[in-house]
Structure 1
Amino acid sequence: MTFNTLLSTILLQLCLASLGLAAPVSTESLDNSWQYGTGGGLIGLVILILDIVVFVEVLKSSRSPVQKFIWCLVVFLFPVIGMIIYYLFSNRSSYQGGSGYETLA
């Protein structure tokens, strides 16, 4: 198993674990189901989707595995701030991987 495959597997497992922990368990009465146990509601869902887009973009880039790991860790630990930092300071245009296919001679 290569380092990139191992790194991708670990990041996927962390993402899936964060989904399991996203909805807090409340011991209070559940009078308003939109308020308790939704894990952030619609705003949380939008942030989750945007974070997944960042993870895919980072993993498909031509960065070194260490840089990929650091960017994914920043976005995982600080979802909103990490995403903003990534889009402002990551120099995405120089690391775009392209289509992923090699041209034929």
Structure 2
Amino acid sequence: MFNAILPLLFSLLSCAYAAPLTAQKADGPIGLHVGGGIVGFLVLVLDVIVWIEVLQSTRPISHKLLWALLVFIFPIVGVIIYFLFSNRKAHMGGYEAIP
């Protein structure tokens, strides 16, 4: 599965940027830098992995939609809830590993 999304990760990595090392004026609404950086990129990668896994699972369509929306609306909390409570092993029969 990870071999299939490796090109996607490299293309997303080229778009990611880290927070600047020099002191600059804060841009955000409460005085914080806004931009994502490496932590934002890691959250994006985990979200994409969860979406691919959910869409290729054997869950009913309504459950797929609910998991995808949960991860889309709450990216960090949704991924944590998915990995803790989704019963992933019971729904892994819907796709084959790429050789």
Global fold match (TM > 0.5): yes
Q: Partner letter of residue 62 of structure 1?
A: T
Aligned partner of 2:83 in structure 1 is 87
Length-normalised TM-score, structure 2: 0.62
The alignment-based identity, stated in percent, is: 43
Cα distance between partner residues in 2 of 1:77 and 1:46: 16
Larger RCO: 1 or 2 (CA < 8 Å, sep 6+): 2
Aligned partner of 2:69 in structure 1 is 73
Deviations 1:8-63 (A, max 9, x none): xxxxxxxxxxxxxxxxxxxxxxx369x7452x111000000100000000000011
In angstroms, what is the RMSD of aligned CA positions? 2.2
Length, aligned pairs only: 69
Q: Partner letter of residue 37 of structure 2?
A: G
The runs of 5 or more residues in structure 2 that have no matched partner are: 1-23, 27-31
Ranges of 4+ aligned residues in structure 1 off by more than 3 Å: none
Aligned partner of 1:98 in structure 2 is 95
The runs of 5 or more residues in structure 1 that have no matched partner are: 1-30, 101-105
